[in-house]
Amino acid sequence: MKLKYSIIFSIFYFLFTIYSVTPAHAASCTNQYGSTVECPQNHIVVNKKVRHPINMNVFIENLTSNDTAYSPNDIVEYDIAVSNTSNVNYSEITVSDSLPTYLVFDGGIGSYNSTTNILTYTITNVNAGTTVHNRFTAKVKAASAFANDLTCNVDNYVKVTGPDGQTDDDTASLCVQTKVLGVTTLPVAGFEDYAFMMPFAILAMIGSGLFIAIKKARP
């Protein structure tokens, strides 16, 4: 009898061990602050970046007052990366991007509503463990749209919606500089600006006259 119970207990323990194995860690993802975090299981993750205004090969999370700013009428390019971190394939994911007040859609994927300033598009057949990148451009409004010489926290907000109502969101921020720092035009020179040069001009004329006189006096 004891042997019988021992066998039953062994089988039960074996099955329990199989089904209680700790699952593997999810892949690493980057949050909106640029930190590496563990991707959530059975979910979608969106990561939005903005192209650097000077280094055109670099996309970053956010541009602050310590970085180079964009100027009025500049073209800004955004990259939206949508990842399927689950273990199943998604047939469709919807992306909704809300542009800030200071920018208007310029070109790229999707359908743009000029009244709401929102860009929408769908991604189909997003397989498990894959990431899909899409880019679009927006134009900075004229200088008259800005109240300050430097305007930061110009946030572009994006939200993605997947199967079963799964959602994620992210932002990318930049700054706009409406005026070039420092002197942009030189002042018109007056008499006082040239007065200090007069003694040198007189000496040059005297020296030139003496040179000509000496040259003529020579046989």
pLDDT in tens, 124-175: 999 999 999 999 999 999 999 999 999 999 999 999 999 888 999 999 999 9
Q: Is the pLDDT of residue 120 over 50?
A: yes
Query: Is 73 part of a structural domain of the chain?
Result: yes
Beta strand 44-51 with 36-38 is unpaired
Q: What is the pLDDT of residue 43?
A: 86
User: Tell me, what's the pLDDT at 194?
Assistant: 47
Q: What average pLDDT score do residues 20-44 get?
A: 54
CA distance 150 to 71: 10
Query: What dihedral angle (degrees, nearest 10) is formed by the CA atoms of 101, 103, 108, 114?
Result: 50
Domain carrying residue 54: 27-177
Question: Residue 130: which CATH number?
Answer: 2.60.40.740
Tell whether 106 is covered by a domain: yes
Q: What is the pLDDT of residue 127?
A: 93
Residue 160 lies in a domain: yes
* Lowest-pLDDT choice from 4-13, 30-39, 40-49, 95-104: 4-13
pTM of the model: 0.66
Whether 11 maps to a domain, the answer reads no
Query: How many domains, in total, are found in the chain?
Result: 1
pLDDT at 35: 64
Residue 204: inside a domain: no
Residue 68 phi/psi, 5-degree rounding, is -65, 135
